[in-house]
Structure 1
Amino acid sequence: MTDADATAPEETPEPTHDVVIVGGGHNGLTAAAYLAKAGLSVIVLERLQNTGGAAVSAQAFDGVGAWLSRYSYLVSLLPQRIIDDLGLRISLARRRYSSYTPVPGARDGSGLLIDNTDAEATARSFASIGAADDTDAFASVYESTGELARALWPTVTEPLLTRSEAKALVGDDELWNAIIERPIGEFIESRVSNDLVRGVVATDALIGTFASVDDPGLGQNRCFLYHVIGGGTGAWDVPIGGMGSVTTELARAAREAGARIVTGAEVTAIDPDGTVDYRRKKHERRVIGRHVLANVAPEVLDALLGDEREPGRPHAEGAQVKVNLLLERLPRLRDESVDPAAAFGGTFHINETYTQLETAYAGAVRGVMPELIPCEIYCHSLTDPSILDPELAAGGAQTITVFGLHTPDRWLNDENNDATRERLQAAVLASLNSVLAEPIEELLLTDADGNPCIETKTTRDIEQTLNMPGGNIFHGPLSWPFAEDDDELSTPAQRWGVATRHERILLCGSGARRGGAVSGIGGHNAAMAVLES
């Protein structure tokens, strides 16, 4: 061997596909459909036996005909552009009621019911809890966020704006500073005064984000922004047929466009040259892409590449507990003047006053589980009974999803997960029962083996099942939907917010800029970057 031979660079291997997509969640399927429609050869490698990732429907209880949206449950951030471009046959139902929030500890069970179609009834409800002065102020909060939504929402499926460009587009420096530059707690406190009303606003900043509303890092602000801009309105809709109907349609669109989807394929290594090794049915296999799109968390991608975590990027940590229940009927409320179908028809806030949220966060940082976990309830079956077998629906059965806040992954490990899950489930049920007129346990249906129809998913469960580090539902901290003014934006991947340290490897999941939630935005933007390359 000559010296020249010894120092010659290795040849790039010949690609087997234009694009290899690692992960068959909704973003990977979105990217696959776009790229295959453009005529590229695409293969999707999914570790599980089914596609969909966290956006799936499942028959969670043996022998019971109820298909629950097991992890993700509502849709706001899926752009109509993606639905139209890919010809997705999905239906999203708007909920009449925005939210219901009982006053914690109130003897009469009074609460705040916000009716999207009846401003007078909503005003009376504000007055009933002693918050009449906040009626118009609360509306003004969402009039302001509507300004942001109308300006920024159309940009999420376009190349990134810079911070200065985004600020100019919003055209309201006071609003920009309040939402983008200063902790969201200041904005909330400046607009509304009632503790419960403040809490209703604050939850938009804390779902899936472990932070105080006053955190100077502004992670809560980024969470808030994504919760209020979806569709240009901030409305969160129910997917008819369950969340699995969305990803089933995405998989259909990808396959019909010519993408090859391989399930049960565990990717074991990725090389920056585009080589992807995977294991399927105990056989080691290899594909090579001109581009590799990673629909996995950035930490997972680092491990597959053998890279160290990027400097400055914090470890992904989730901070939620998810409880799914199937009830024989809706629970009775302490306030008999409120129809349970109205209360459960939107987001049912439990022990989520502003003070309770901040106290729960402060305690969680110290490792203390709150006695009453702040929770939110979603009742999919009220809006969409199609997820129930006809007999269940006719009998009045209802699915209940509870999302508990401020339960960080740092509390759990592989050894204590089972015990902590039991504690969290008990704490969630206690929180629910603190505002209901009857114990919710008495309403649980039973499965084929006589077990109560309840399942609880901790952050550790989510990591083990879905390979999301720390159980973080966003794959890591959310990013602003714009670039900083000094960011490098010279390549298509950089302009679309999907770049990694390696030219041929792109992010296409929730860890991309403008990622998070069921949106398809990460997949769309990665596909656009490939098509521009």
Structure 2
Amino acid sequence: MTSNQYDAIIIGGGHNGLVAGAYLARAGKKVVVLERRHIAGGAAVTEEIFPGYKFTEFSYVVSLLRPEIIRDLELPKHGLKILPLPSTVTPMENGDYLGAWDDHDLTRREIYRHSPKDAEAYDEYARVMARAAKAIKPIINLIPPDPSSLSVKDLMGLLKVGQFAANLSEKELYAIAKLATQSSADLLEEWFEFDALKGTKAASGIIGTFLGPRSPGTAYVLLHHYMGEIDGAFRAWGFAKNGSGGVSGSILSAAKALGVEVRLNASVKQVIVKNGRAVGVALENGDELTSKVVMSAADPKRTFLQFVEQKHFPDEFVTALQNFRTRGSSGKVNIALSELPNFTALPFKGKGHDSALHRGAVSISPSIDYIERAYDDAKYGQISKRPYLDMIFPSMIDPDMAPPGQHVMSCFVQYAPYDLEGGWNDAKRNELGEAVISTIEQYAPNIRKAIVGMQVISPKDIEAIAGITGGNIFHGELLLHQIFFLRPTPQWADFRTPLKGYYFGASGAHPGGGVMGAAGMLAAKEILKDGLK
């Protein structure tokens, strides 16, 4: 048994844990990050699943990573390179397609081809959404105040929220109130008539939630994804060089350069508590490390219900955490290909060719009803027979991801419910893989013969591999009762916890999921504010 004294121990080497560690080390603190796997990065990792084929196993696109983190930690110097995704193409069931390109006029003309009315509405919709996203963006960097508290800190926080609200126009306030409560279907049906346009936009409102596009609250999730920003380009999505592991790798490199110690294969068994205070951790291998503070970058249930004996928390706090909704609804299918799928909507001729759609995303979301039907299956514990798919071809953007002339394809799949009837096993994984392939086959008939290898990841696998309870990609659904000062629980949304010296900074904290890093950064800043005492 060994014992080491640190200023801060961080449980979990996902991107939030690494960001927090880097910020604390930047302030001169002695920090260790403990990661249970053989690789740092959490759900943002790149691994070689089949020889020569590299996959971003779980998360796969970058857009929400905070620009201030990129600047503060000098991530480009540590290898961060984000390659833009220039398009989203939605193949339609009639053989046509809807394309959204990085050229605004081209996109507008494309929508006009399907619906002149929608082309007219599109610019105004984009303006309203961009204004709403920019309006709520300052909240991302706010420490959520407790509205029931009369402490100076919380009153000042409420004042900040009030000032922020006072700066909004009447129109913006109404727009945000509607977005916070509406379903994405209701929102989009007010604006558009063309099914494929509504379906593709509605898909952003269900990602990571166990809800359908007609469920209230999904318009907020749509807005959360609307806040994408790369290099200050608002609403931009990209793919990192070397995949999501390229993002985590750059943060890891920055953290190490600042003096952070990162231990792999270091699974935490328990937080050590003495005199009502977190003073270190015990590892599964018997080692004990001591520190002035402990921060968890694991999901809320592991953080509060697994690592710490429940006697150290108030009963109502434990109950609130037990009720925190973490049901995973998304799967991932990673495919190694001998050739690109040839989509009949935008075909190419001959081997070695590609069409414009392979350089961006391909979305199987032909209508709101299509996605709602996929949700109907999941509601009753079934895999969606015709799932919503968001596909990208990383090897087209970054050729190092596959052997020469070969390709990798990343499919985000919804719905694959965590609580599957009969439970997840190899037969059910095969069923999910088959649902994905047969769905793609409707639009790209050559897909089956092009498959060299396929990895199917269910929410159960996300839980087992990445250590995320329930396999929920956001560590907890982005629902109205689980955001801002309610995330993860009322009174404890400021990255502190009822246990002194124990902090929480992960996707299950404010401001939520995605490869954003904000929770890790804000938690580190609060730890420093408390003086590491």
Change (3 A) 1:55 1:170: farther
Q: CA deviation at 1:303?
A: 1.5
Corresponding residue to 1:52 among 41, 45, 56? 41
1:295 aligns with 2:297: yes
**How do 1:47-446 residues align onto structure 2 when only pairs under 5 Å count?**
47-61=36-50, 63=51, 65-89=52-76, 90-97=80-87, 99-104=88-93, 106=94, 109-117=95-103, 119=105, 121-128=106-113, 130-160=114-144, 162=158, 164-171=162-169, 172-216=172-216, 218=217, 220-231=218-229, 233-272=234-273, 273-279=277-283, 283-301=285-303, 302-307=305-310, 308-310=318-320, 313-336=323-346, 340-389=354-403, 392=404, 395=405, 397-411=406-420, 416-436=424-444, 438-445=445-452
The superposition leaves residues 309-361 of structure 1 with CA deviations (integer Å, 9 ceiling, x where unpaired) of 42684331111110011222222222356895322322211144101111221
Seen in structure 2, the aligned counterparts of structure 1 residues 293 and 207 have a Cα distance that, compared at 3 Å, is same
Shift of 1:42: 1.0
Aligned mates of 2:500, 2:477 — CA distance in 1:
23
Q: 1:508 is matched with which residue: 505, 508, 512?
A: 505
Q: Is the 8 A contact 1:323 1:402 kept in 2?
A: yes
Instruction: Name the SS of the counterpart of 1:411 in structure 2.
Output: coil
TM-score, scaled relative to structure 2 = 0.85
- Going from structure 1 to structure 2, the CA distance change for 1:469 and 1:165 (only over 3 Å counts) comes to farther
Evaluate the alpha carbon distance shift between residue 258 and residue 469 of structure 1 in structure 2; reply closer, same or farther with a 3 A threshold: same
Shift of 1:147: 0.8
Q: Which runs of 5 or more structure 2 residues have no equivalent in the other structure?
A: 145-156, 311-317
Return the alpha-carbon distance in structure 2 between the equivalents of residues 412 and 459 of structure 1: 13
State the alpha-carbon separation in 1 of the partners of residues 366 and 447 from structure 2.
19
- Of stretches 155-164 and 500-509 in structure 1, the one that deviates more from structure 2 is 155-164
Mark the CA change 1:43 to 1:311 in structure 2 (over 3 Å): closer, same or farther.
closer
Whether the 8 Å contact between 2:279 and 2:501 is mirrored in structure 1 is no
Q: Which amino acid aligns with 1:262?
A: R
RMSD across aligned C-alpha pairs, in angstroms? Answer: 2.5
Q: Structure 2 vs 1, CA of residues 322 and 170 (structure 1 numbering), >3 Å: closer, same or farther?
A: farther
Q: Look up the equivalent residue of 1:277 and give its one-letter code.
A: V
Structure 1 residue runs without a partner (length 5+): 1-13, 446-452
Q: 1:503 to 1:166 in 2, by over 3 A?
A: farther
Output the CA distance in 1 between the equivalents of 2:121 and 2:198: 11
| Cα shift at 1:155 | 4.2
Contact 1:36 1:257 in 2 (8 A): yes
In the TM superposition, what is the alpha-carbon distance from 1:203 to its structure 2 partner? 0.7
Contact map agreement 2:342 2:447 (CA 8 A) in 1: no
Alignment check: 8 A CA contact 1:195 1:353 kept: yes
**Alpha-carbon deviation of 1:33?**
0.6
Is this contact kept in 2: 1:299–1:309, CA < 8 A?
A: no
User: Which residue of 2 is the match for residue 5 of structure 1?
Assistant: none
Whole-angstrom CA distance in 2 between matches of 1:442 and 1:174: 51
Report the Cα offset of residue 401 of structure 1: 0.6
1:166–1:221 Cα change, 3 Å: farther
Please say if 1:475 is aligned against 2:475: yes
Instruction: Please give the alpha-carbon distance, in whole angstroms, between the structure 2 residues aligned to 1:288 and 1:222.
Output: 41
C-alpha separation in 1, matches of 2:16 and 2:415: 27
Note if contact 1:479-1:514 (Cα within 8 Å) is conserved in structure 2. no
How far the C-alpha of 1:482 sits from its partner, in A, is: 4.1
Alignment partners' CA distance in 2, 1:384 and 1:252? 21
CA contact (8 A) 1:412 1:460 kept: no
Q: Which position in structure 1 is the counterpart of 2:151?
A: none
Letter paired with 2:208: G
CA distance in 2, matches of 1:29, 1:462: 20
Tell me, in whole angstroms, the C-alpha distance in 1 between the residues paired with 2:123 and 2:449.
38
Q: Structure 1 residue 368: deviation in Å? A: 3.9
Q: Which residue of 2 aligns with 1:10?
A: none
| Distance apart, 1:214 and its partner CA | 3.4
Is 1:152–1:229's contact at 8 Å kept on the other side of the alignment? no
AA of the residue aligned to 1:304:
F
- Matched residues in 1 for 2:510 and 2:412: separation? 25
Q: What is the one-letter code of the residue matched to 2:5?
A: T
Give the C-alpha shift of residue 444 in structure 1: 1.9
Secondary structure of 1:205's counterpart equals: coil
- Cα 1:518–1:296 shift into 2, 3 Å: same
Q: Deviations over 1:122-149 (max 9, x none)?
A: 3443344x43321232333222221123
CA displacement, residues 444-499 of structure 1 (integer Å, 9 cap, x when unaligned): 23xxxxxxx21110011111111111111111122676447xx988xxx85xx323
TM-superposed CA distance for 1:412, in Å, is 6.0
Q: Select between 74-83 and 156-165 the one with higher mean Cα deviation.
A: 156-165
* Aligned AA (1:186): D
Instruction: For 2:286 and 2:123, locate their aligned partners in 1 and report how far apart those are by CA, in whole Å.
Output: 58
Partner deviation per Cα, 1:382-419 (whole Å, 9 max, x = no partner): 22223334xx1xx2x22111111122111066x64211
1:500 Cα deviation after fit:
2.5
Residues 169-220 of structure 1: CA deviation (Å, up to 9, x unaligned):
443123112212333332111111222211111011111111123324x2x2
Alignment partners' CA distance in 2, 1:167 and 1:22: 36
Q: Which residue in the other structure is 1:524 paired with?
A: 521
CA 1:29/1:343 → structure 2, altered by over 3 Å: closer, same or farther? Answer: same
SS at match of 1:277: strand
Is the Cα contact below 8 Å between 2:140 and 2:510 reproduced in 1? no
Hey, what does 1:18 align to over in structure 2?
7
Counterpart-to-counterpart distance in 1, 2:189 and 2:110: 21
CA distance in 2, matches of 1:165, 1:374: 40
Query: 1:430 offset after TM fit, Å?
Result: 0.7
Q: Deviations over 1:409-454 (max 9, x none)?
A: 11066x6421110101001111111112x23111123xxxxxxx21
Bigger drift between 362-371 and 248-257 goes to 362-371
Q: What amino acid sits opposite 1:274 in the alignment?
A: A
Q: Distance in 2 between matches of 1:208 and 1:253?
A: 29
Residue type of the alignment partner of 2:54: W
Distance 1:429 1:132 in 2: 34
Identity among equivalent pairs (%): 26
